Amino acid sequence: MIAENLAAVEKHIVDACERAGRGREEVTLISVSKTKPPEMIEEAYALGKREFGENKAQELKEKHALLPGDINWHFIGHLQTNKVKYVVGRACLIHSVDSLRLAEAIEQEGAKRNVVSKILLEVNVAGEESKFGIKPEETLALASQIAGMPHVQIQGLMTIAPYVENPEQNREVFRRLRELSVDIGSKNIDNVSMGVLSMGMTGDYQVAIEEGATYVRVGTGIFGERNYHQNGSNT
Ligand SMILES: *Cc1c(COP(=O)(O)O)cnc(C)c1O
């Protein structure tokens, strides 16, 4: 099932890149493996996948220890400062930085271990109350504050778009994240890059690619529905 799903997702990515006049190599697929057992990750790994996404610090730590060392682990969930120690040094990219306090905790842990963490700022573009993320208008100020931290490197922006029936409804959200990243990029802040746009999930990654996504985060479309009752997890 995973092989068929990955093939279908790959085809959709290629088609979306073509529609947008973009090269396939501009878009990286992250296989979101949260709640899924190591065996399923191994199956995707055997098919050549190396980028996996997790949203719980403890789960990332456990899977990191268990699975091959050349996997790139992306941390995509809400991160509490007391869990930063599980993620720094294990995640290749932390997609979900949404406060100065969190960035400071990542800086501190990085200083302790002599590790520079690559991060994205999570922006709540649609202004949904149920979602984490900073307001678009706060993003530049936060980027400027984090820029001075030697063990934190901003690589770009991330957003979680609303759940919608028709992915076209999220086109504007993706467009606004891209515009924001262009705006901030144009300020040429030292130690702040805006090259990465992490946006698009199973329901809307094709539209996200058309609007400039460089990372898409696909879970259900690859591994199937998540069963939260099985392991007591709830996000
Ligand atoms: C779970 C999750 C995804 C993947 O969602 P699907 O709809 O299953 O593709 C992507 N991004 C984040 C931040 C997630 O938590």
Rounded Cα–Cα distance for residues 13 and 100 (Å): 34
Q: How far is CA 96 from the centre of its chain?
A: 7
Domain housing 122: 2-220
* DSSP sequence for 164-223: -SSGGGGHHHHHHHHHHHHHHHTT--TTEEEEEEE---TTTHHHHHHTT-SEEEESHHHH
- 181-219 per-position pLDDT tens digit: 999 999 999 999 999 999 999 999 999 999 999 999 999
CA of 87 to the centre of ligand 1 (A): 18
Rounded Cα–Cα distance for residues 5 and 3 (Å): 5
Residue 231 falls inside a structural domain: no
What percent of the chain clears pLDDT 90, i.e. is strictly above it? 95
- How many residues are given for the chain? 235
Residue 53 falls inside a structural domain: yes
What percent of the chain clears pLDDT 70, i.e. is strictly above it? 97
pLDDT band at 228 (very low <50, low <70, confident <90, very high): confident
- The answer to whether the CB of 79 falls within 8 A of the CB of 73 is no
The whole-number average pLDDT for the span 3-28 is 98
Write down the mean pLDDT value for the chain: 96
Residue 166: the pLDDT is 98
Q: What letter does residue 123 receive in the DSSP assignment?
A: B
**Which residue's alpha carbon is at the smallest distance from atom 11 of ligand 1?**
217
The whole-number average pLDDT for the span 67-92 is 98
With a cut of 90, say whether residue 230 has pLDDT above it. no
**Which residue's alpha carbon is at the smallest distance from atom 7 of ligand 1?**
202
Residue 13: give its domain's CATH number.
3.20.20.10
The whole-number average pLDDT for the span 80-97 is 98
With a cut of 70, say whether residue 33 has pLDDT above it. yes
- The answer to whether the CB of 207 falls within 8 A of the CB of 223 is no
With a cut of 80, say whether residue 103 has pLDDT above it. yes
Nearest atom in ligand 1 to the alpha carbon of residue 226 is 8
Residue 84 falls inside a structural domain: yes
Residue 229: the pLDDT is 59
Rounded Cα–Cα distance for residues 10 and 111 (Å): 39
**Which residue's alpha carbon is at the smallest distance from atom 4 of ligand 1?**
219
Token pair in block for residue 136 = 């678009």
Residue 177 falls inside a structural domain: yes
Torsion region of 148: left, alpha or beta (phi above 0 gives left; psi -120 to 50 gives alpha):
alpha
Residue 111 falls inside a structural domain: yes
Residue 227: the pLDDT is 79
With a cut of 90, say whether residue 235 has pLDDT above it. no
Q: How many domains does the chain have?
A: 1
Rounded Cα–Cα distance for residues 135 and 154 (Å): 17
- 114-145 per-position pLDDT tens digit: 999 999 999 999 999 989 999 999 999 999 99
Residue 36 falls inside a structural domain: yes
- Residue in this structure with the two tokens 């746009």, named with its chain if needed: 197
- Residue in this structure with the two tokens 């199956």, named with its chain if needed: 43
Residue 231: the pLDDT is 46
Residue 234 falls inside a structural domain: no
* Residue ranges lining ligand 1, Cβ < 6 Å: 32, 34, 55, 76-77, 160, 201-203, 217-221
With a cut of 50, say whether residue 234 has pLDDT above it. no
With a cut of 70, say whether residue 98 has pLDDT above it. yes
Residue 20: the pLDDT is 98
